[in-house]
Structure 1
Amino acid sequence: MQQYWLRWENWMKQHAPRLLNILHPGVTFEAVESLEKLIGTAMPDSFKAFYAIHNGQQKARAGLVDADQLLSVEDIITQWHHWKDLLDAGTFNYHDEPVLSTPDTGIRHDWWNPLWIPFTSDGFGNHLCIDLDPAPEGKHGQIVTLWHDDSHRAIVAASFEEWLQDYLSALDKGEYIFVKKWGIVHKDTFLNYND
């Protein structure tokens, strides 16, 4: 995982050196253990190795993942509790029936599943999640989208490592730029109109 962080940090050095200052040091074993105890299963090895180098980013206006924050493990736990509280309160039920999502093949029809672990956040309830409870056609550890107000759930990558490879390759190809107000954003997004 070191090579992925080196690539990401090198991109930041060239395009947005100040972003290096918002990276947390590596996560503690105890923090990862707390997350795994909470969700009742192990996180993927690639996730743990990646977070051992940097535990996501500080809460900042600038996001590292297409304007979204790369959550620390502590923030992942906070977001997980937020979604679990909504689930336990019956928010995802209507007339005693579950509200279903419209997922890609390989994702369960839940609105939210306690084994969808959010690792990015746009601050408005939308995330990329590591799916540790895929549908039979899916793959354990696949990366899926989670929208608070949209039923579609999409598979973004087959694994955390594949997602990293794809995102860093897009950075290297110039598909993303730095915009002071938002952080790293896709060059074609509306967010880059106003720096």
Structure 2
Amino acid sequence: MQQLWHELETFLKTNNPEQLDDLNPPASSAQIHELEKLLGVTLPDDFKTCLMRHDGQRGGAEWLFEGYEFLSARKIGLEWSALRRLLDRGDLDEPLGKPDPAVRHAWWDPHWIPFAANGAGDNLCLDLAPTREGNHGQVISYSHEFPRRSVKAPDFSAWFKAFANRLCA
């Protein structure tokens, strides 16, 4: 993870310094612990390592993850809490289409941890409660509008590596 971040930062320094400057300083262990406490989960180590390099973006530049803002620990908590409130009110119980066999058949699950948001209600999430066909910590897409949930990568490291390779190629 550290090497991938180094390569990404080097690329951004030359090609998009505003985006590099928009990255927050590292999250502290205490911030990550508080986030885990709020979410009621233990975050995957690779994702915690990522947050300890950069705690998301400030939000003053182009979003880092191909149209998605890299969320800070604070914003992850806010995004998750908003979805949790909708779930608790019964607003997320609409009919679903055919599910991806690796993803739980639900409109939203509290074990889906948003780490990137497009500002319109869609997220990239860490799936910490996959089906037997899935992987703990797999990256999935969540749409507020469309019921199909799909796996983007088997874990955060694989997703981040693919993202960095596409961007830096």
Q: How does 1:43-54 map to 2 (within 5 A)?
A: 43-54=43-54
Could you state the TM-score of these two structures normalised by the residue count of structure 1?
Answer: 0.83
Q: Which runs of 4+ in 1 moved over 4 A?
A: none
* Worse-superposed segment, 15-24 or 159-168: 15-24
Report the alpha carbon displacement of residue 102 of structure 1 after superposing the two structures with TM.
3.6
Task: Name the SS of the counterpart of 1:152 in structure 2.
Answer: coil
* Partner amino acid, structure 1, of 2:149: R
Give, in whole Å, the separation in 1 of the partners of 2:99 and 2:56.
Answer: 27
Return closer, same or farther for 1:59/1:101 CA change in 2, 3 Å cut-off.
farther
The answer to whether the 8 Å contact 1:101/1:110 transfers is: no
* Partner amino acid, structure 1, of 2:37: K
Runs of at least 5 residues in structure 2 that lack an aligned partner in the other structure: none
Could you state the TM-score of these two structures normalised by the residue count of structure 2?
Answer: 0.95
Question: What's 2:162 paired with?
Answer: 166
Report the alpha carbon displacement of residue 70 of structure 1 after superposing the two structures with TM.
0.3
Percentage identity across paired residues of the two chains: 36
Greater per-residue strand proportion:
1
The answer to whether the 8 Å contact 2:18/2:61 transfers is: no
Q: Who wins on radius of gyration, i.e. which is larger?
A: 1
Task: Say whether residues 1:129 and 2:125 are aligned partners.
Answer: yes
Task: Say whether residues 1:91 and 2:87 are aligned partners.
Answer: no
Report the alpha carbon displacement of residue 18 of structure 1 after superposing the two structures with TM.
1.4
Runs of at least 5 residues in structure 1 that lack an aligned partner in the other structure: 174-195
Report the alpha carbon displacement of residue 92 of structure 1 after superposing the two structures with TM.
1.7
How large is the Cα RMSD of the aligned pairs? 1.2
